[in-house]
């Protein structure tokens, strides 16, 4: 049996997934841990293990019996005593809840919005061309997928409301905003709790409206839904369910678009290939999602398990960063290179097991349309020479900003 090693002995400092510097480029950290300490113990945030190999992370995500998804946060939020649906719910209830929303996000169910999604992308690209130099996150990466998601689930609203929802979601997931700095767990938790309450109150008010006048929105769907062979959802379940869907719908695709265009902006050769041959776009998206996987999930050990020679006991917490898994050289040849036509043998870019992302088809639609319309109209782009990038850490990593130009200097 191998004794786990402290992450700080390998890194020279404590592992902190909320650190903005780490969030911008965590890959050297994961490479060091993978080589020297693939099951590393971390003292931060109440203590947990961080895994760094594809096989170990896949093992955890595929074994929901031994590794519970409750609670999903590291550190867990104080007072959070009700599992978020379906994110933190284990079998058999997890499947019952997923059956309610799976039909909403199937390919056939979302294909009707493709034209309107493309039209919105065109409008945003028009604005980008008019401005020529701007912050890509605020001009495209955030408004595009968040507006699409809100329209799909019938929560279409003003840009001001959309931006407020995005701000709450970002604070809940990243907690390095509003003065909550990396390493300051108390401030991070306070920021998360405050944003969570505000989002909950927004959804509670919407629930009250839909009880009086049902519509085609997400809340109305959940009001009419029944757990298979059982009962209707109670109001707490509905609010809980909607809360998770809003968080997921407003963050991850924005982040994926941002990181993808950061890397493309740094690589004129990749821009030129994709602009010249749009048929490469679908595979390029999969490769860029692999190259910069963003989700940092946590599981709780439910029964004794051994990983990489380290004995884990019930109650232990393990984090499974997808960024570490998808740069593992045991699975991906030259993992630190972007290969647009790479054949990806194994992938967990949308998770794995029963908790695989319900919105993966919508995400791929949004990403394909975004790539097609931007590269069609802006085939050459770049970062300003003095660009300073900032990132958020947390349950997902995200770019805070992305200075962007709709042209590039030719050498």
Classify residue 279: in a domain, yes or no. yes
Classify residue 410: in a domain, yes or no. no
Domain count, the chain: 1
Lowest model confidence (mean pLDDT) among 73-87, 174-188, 193-207, 250-264 = 174-188
Average the pLDDT over 345-359 and give the result.
92
Residue 50: how many other CB atoms lie within 10 Å? 26
Classify residue 306: in a domain, yes or no. yes
Q: Where residue 350 falls among pLDDT bands split at 50, 70, 90?
A: very high
Share of the chain above pLDDT 70, in %: 96
Q: How high is the pLDDT of residue 251?
A: 86
How far, in Å, CA of 122 to CA of 128, rounded?
10
Q: How far is CA 398 from CA 119, 137, 197, 253, in A?
A: 26, 10, 22, 10
Tokens found for residue 207: 């629930």
Among 250, 168, 176, 172, CA closest to 16: 176
Using the predicted structure, report yes or no on whether residue 38 has a pLDDT greater than 90. Answer: yes
| The model's pTM | 0.93
Classify residue 117: in a domain, yes or no. yes
| Residues 171 and 246 sit within 8 Å (Cβ to Cβ) | no
Q: Where residue 297 falls among pLDDT bands split at 50, 70, 90?
A: very high
Classify residue 166: in a domain, yes or no. yes
Q: How high is the pLDDT of residue 162?
A: 86
Q: How high is the pLDDT of residue 247?
A: 85
Share of the chain above pLDDT 90, in %: 67
pLDDT tens column, 179-191: 555 556 677 778 8
Lowest model confidence (mean pLDDT) among 19-28, 208-217, 294-303, 341-350 = 208-217
Lowest model confidence (mean pLDDT) among 186-195, 200-209, 263-272, 379-388 = 186-195
Q: Where residue 178 falls among pLDDT bands split at 50, 70, 90?
A: very low
How far, in Å, CA of 207 to CA of 196, rounded?
16
- Per-residue HEC secondary structure of the chain comes to CCCCEEHHHHHCCCCCCCCHHHHHCCHHHHHHHHHHCCEEEECHHHCEEEECCHHHHHHHHHCCCCEECCCCCCCCCCCCCCCCCCCCCCCCHHHHHHHHHHHHHCHHHHHHHHHHHHHHHHHHHHHHHHHCEEEHHHHHHCHHHHHHHHHHCCCCCCHHHHHHHHHHHHHHHHCCCCCCCCCCHHHHHHHHHHHHHHHHHHHHHHHHHHHHCCCCCHHHHHHHCECCCCCECCHHHHHHHHHHHHHHHHHHHHHHHHHHHHHHHCCHHHHHHHHHCHHHHHHHHHHHHHHCCCEEEEEEECCCEEECCEEECCCCEEEEEHHHHCCCCCCCCCCCCCCCCCCCCCCCECECHHHCCCCHHHHHHHHHHHHHHHHHHCCCCECCCCCCCCEECCCECEECCCEEECCCCCC
Using the predicted structure, report yes or no on whether residue 81 has a pLDDT greater than 50. Answer: yes
Average the pLDDT over 238-264 and give the result.
91
Placement of tokens 């001001």 in the chain: 160
Classify residue 62: in a domain, yes or no. yes
Using the predicted structure, report yes or no on whether residue 372 has a pLDDT greater than 60. Answer: yes
Residues 6 or more apart in contact with residue 24 via CB below 8 angstroms? 389, 390, 391, 399
How far, in Å, CA of 143 to CA of 250, rounded?
9
Classify residue 17: in a domain, yes or no. yes
Residues 6 or more apart in contact with residue 333 via CB below 8 angstroms? none
Using the predicted structure, report yes or no on whether residue 353 has a pLDDT greater than 70. Answer: yes
pLDDT tens column, 204-223: 998 899 999 998 888 888 99
| Residues 334 and 273 sit within 8 Å (Cβ to Cβ) | no
Q: Where residue 82 falls among pLDDT bands split at 50, 70, 90?
A: confident
How confident is the prediction for the chain on average, in pLDDT? 91
Classify residue 411: in a domain, yes or no. no
Q: How high is the pLDDT of residue 381?
A: 98
| Residues 190 and 180 sit within 8 Å (Cβ to Cβ) | yes
Domain range holding 161? 5-405
Q: How high is the pLDDT of residue 291?
A: 98
Using the predicted structure, report yes or no on whether residue 306 has a pLDDT greater than 80. Answer: yes
Q: How high is the pLDDT of residue 219?
A: 87
**250 or 38: whose pLDDT is higher?**
38
Pairing of strands 48-51, 67-68: unpaired
Q: How far is CA 14 from CA 52, 142, 183, 256, 319, in A?
A: 15, 31, 10, 27, 15
Q: Which CATH number goes with the domain that contains 74?
A: 1.10.630.10
pLDDT tens column, 132-155: 999 999 999 999 999 988 888 877
Lowest model confidence (mean pLDDT) among 148-162, 356-370, 397-411 = 148-162
């Amino acid at each position: 049996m191998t004794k786990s090693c402290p992450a700080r002995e390998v890194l020279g400092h404590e592992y902190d997934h909320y650190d903005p510097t780490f969030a911008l480029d965590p890959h050297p950290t994961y490479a060091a841990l993978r080589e020297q300490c693939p099951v590393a113990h971390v003292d931060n945030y109440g203590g947990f293990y961080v895994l760094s190999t594809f096989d170990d992370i896949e093992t955890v995500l595929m074994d929901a019996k031994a590794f519970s998804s409750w609670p999903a946060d590291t550190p867990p939020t104080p007072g959070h005593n009700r599992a978020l649906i379906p994110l933190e719910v284990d079998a058999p209830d997890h499947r019952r809840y997923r059956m309610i929303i799976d039909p909403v996000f199937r390919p056939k169910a979302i294909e009707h919005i493709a034209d309107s999604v493309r039209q919105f992308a065109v409008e945003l690209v028009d604005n980008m061309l008019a401005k020529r130099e701007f912050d890509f996150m605020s001009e495209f990466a955030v408004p595009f997928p968040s507006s699409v998601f809100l329209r799909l689930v019938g929560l279409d609203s003003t840009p001001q409301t959309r931006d407020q929802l995005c701000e709450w979601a970002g604070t809940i997931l990243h907690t390095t905003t509003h003065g909550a700095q990396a390493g300051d767990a108390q401030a991070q938790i306070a920021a998360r709790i405050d944003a969570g309450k505000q989002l909950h109150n927004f959804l509670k008010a919407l629930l009250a409206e839909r009880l009086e006048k049902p519509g085609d929105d997400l809340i109305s769907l959940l009001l009419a839904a029944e757990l298979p062979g059982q009962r209707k959802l109670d109001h707490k379940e509905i609010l809980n369910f909607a809360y998770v869907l809003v968080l997921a719908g407003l963050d991850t695709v924005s982040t994926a678009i941002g990181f993808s265009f950061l890397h493309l902006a740094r690589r004129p050769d990749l821009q030129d290939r994709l602009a010249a041959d749009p048929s490469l776009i679908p595979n390029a998206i999969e490769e860029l999602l692999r190259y910069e996987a963003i989700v940092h999930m946590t599981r709780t050990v439910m029964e004794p398990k051994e990983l990489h020679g380290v004995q884990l006991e019930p109650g232990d917490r393990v984090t499974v960063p997808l960024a570490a898994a998808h740069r593992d050289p045991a699975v991906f040849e030259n993992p630190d290179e972007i290969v647009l036509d790479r054949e990806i043998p194994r992938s967990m870019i949308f998770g794995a097991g029963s908790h695989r992302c319900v919105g993966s088809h919508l995400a791929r639609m949004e990403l394909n349309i975004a790539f097609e319309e931007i590269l069609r109209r802006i085939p050459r782009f770049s970062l300003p020479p003095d660009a300073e990038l900032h990132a958020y850490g947390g349950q997902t990593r995200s770019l805070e900003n992305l200075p962007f130009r709709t042209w590039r200097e030719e050498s």
